[in-house]
Amino acid sequence: MVLANQGLLGIAFFEATAFIILLVLFLLFRRDHHAGYFRFWLAGWCCFTFSSLCEVALLIRQLPGLNPASVLGQAAALLLFLVAVVHCSAGSERRRWSPVPLMGLILVAIYYTERRGPQQVASLHWETAIFETVVCLLAGWMMWRSDLARRSHGAQLLAGIFLLSGLHGLNRPLWRDSPLFLLHVAFDHILGVALGIAMVVVVLEGARTRSEELNDKMRRLTLLTAASMQTLSVQEVIDQVLSHLVESLGATHGIVRLKEGEGEVLQLMSYGLSSTEIARAIRTDDRRARALVDSVSKKLRSVSSDDLIFPVIQRSRRAFRL
């Protein structure tokens, strides 16, 4: 037996295969990527994959219920993608509201709209097509205006695909009567695969950013370790600390009067360490470390940069006076 719709079946099979591969990648990313928006994206991609499998089954055998299941799966996926974009744009992990009740009402409305329609692939009523178009355009617009899109090429790609998918689906109910029906369906499926690829790029860029932050912390730790192993005179230590501090502050003048315990804090500050890291380095609590950092910071005064190196260091009561 030869199927009459082999072109549609080939397109749907390609989409389902690509969706399954991307789903496996997202499941692997889930172990190391714990952002709140990614959970919604993963759930949406599961719905997207389920919808594509229902479409393949519908093309092989016309069973009742497969077309509504495919339409509902795609609508649920788009809604979950929109929630993921909202969380990603807001940059907050705290949930202010649950989207499940609203999504349930929307899916019920879509089911009552599509249950009496033609049981064919890519056949939607105008109400459902307009709704999916609005969701895609809204998700693309929010992602494009988010802070993530300013520093991530993957976010820009994701926003562009959402916008293009929304514009492409404006006339979806007219596709069956178009001589380019197969081209419309193929391009729609390619956009679906491109959504998954764009999210993969977003996740990989986030992992690269975290790796760069970790490398920067390791660099600071290396500088701190190397500095702690050096045996320097009092004159060399003060000259080195002041030169690092003035350079890190972008200033040309500075003078510091140090008391007991503040010399080591000043040296750690010159390497760009935070108060928490300084507390661990000098083995004290955060409150004491913040107090020392504030005390050292308040002692900056204006002098000539040529006077940062002094021939004589006066020492009284375990305090350096420069």
Written as one string, the DSSP assignment of 92-160 is ----SS-SHHHHHHHHHHHHHHHTTS--STT---HHHHHHHHHHHHHHHHHHHTSHHHHH-HHHHHHHH
List CB contacts of 140: < 8 A, sequence separation 6 or more. Answer: 159, 160, 161, 162, 163, 164, 165, 166
- Please determine, for residue 254, whether its predicted confidence score (pLDDT) is greater than 50: yes
3-state SS class at 319: strand
Provide mean pLDDT across the span 180-195.
91
Answer whether 31's CB lies under 8 Å from 39's CB.
no
Distance CA 31, CA 17 (A): 23
Which of 10-14, 44-48, 117-121, 124-128 is the least confident region?
117-121
List CB contacts of 109: < 8 A, sequence separation 6 or more. Answer: none
Q: Mark residue 122 as left, alpha or beta (left: phi above 0; alpha: psi -120 to 50; beta: remaining).
A: left
Q: Which of 307, 316, 220, 291 is nearest to 256 (CA)?
A: 307
Higher pLDDT, 59 or 322: 59
Give the pLDDT confidence score for residue 302 in this predicted structure.
39
Distance CA 258, CA 252 (A): 20
Give the pLDDT confidence score for residue 198 in this predicted structure.
93
Answer whether 51's CB lies under 8 Å from 77's CB.
yes
- Please determine, for residue 192, whether its predicted confidence score (pLDDT) is greater than 70: yes
Average pLDDT, the chain: 78
Give the pLDDT confidence score for residue 43 in this predicted structure.
93
Distance CA 53, CA 66 (A): 10
Which of 78-82, 172-176, 220-224, 285-289 is the least confident region?
220-224
Give the distance from CA 247 to its chain's centroid: 33
Q: Which of 228, 227, 208 is nearest to 216 (CA)?
A: 208
State the DSSP H helix or E strand holding residue 59, giving kind and residue range, or none if neither: helix 36-60
Provide mean pLDDT across the span 239-263.
62
Q: Which residue has the tokens 């050292």?
A: 296
Q: What does the buried/exposed string (b/e) look like for 203-238 if buried means 16 or more CB atoms within 10 Å of the residue's CB?
A: bebbeeeeeeeeeeeeebeeebeebeeeeeeeeebb
Answer whether 148's CB lies under 8 Å from 88's CB.
yes
Give the pLDDT confidence score for residue 304 in this predicted structure.
41
**40 CB neighbour count, 10 Å cutoff:** 21
pLDDT in tens, 13-44: 999 999 999 999 999 988 877 777 888 999 99
Distance CA 138, CA 160 (A): 11
Higher pLDDT, 257 or 194: 194
Higher pLDDT, 267 or 174: 174
Provide mean pLDDT across the span 161-180.
89
Q: Which of 190, 53, 180, 175 is nearest to 124 (CA)?
A: 175
pLDDT in tens, 216-249: 777 777 766 766 665 555 456 566 666 666 666 6
Q: Which of 77, 63, 53, 69 is nearest to 111 (CA)?
A: 69
Which of 27-41, 148-162, 190-204, 281-295 is the least confident region?
281-295
Give the pLDDT confidence score for residue 315 in this predicted structure.
38
Distance CA 109, CA 125 (A): 12
pLDDT in tens, 42-92: 999 999 999 999 999 988 888 888 888 999 999 999 999 999 998 888 765
pLDDT band for position 139 (50/70/90)?
very high
Higher pLDDT, 274 or 177: 177
Give the pLDDT confidence score for residue 236 in this predicted structure.
61
Give the pLDDT confidence score for residue 250 in this predicted structure.
63
Domains plus CATH for the chain? 6-213 (1.20.1070.10), 230-321 (no CATH)
What percentage of the chain exceeds 90 in pLDDT? 30
pLDDT band for position 214 (50/70/90)?
confident
Biggest distance spanned by C-alpha atoms of the chain: 101
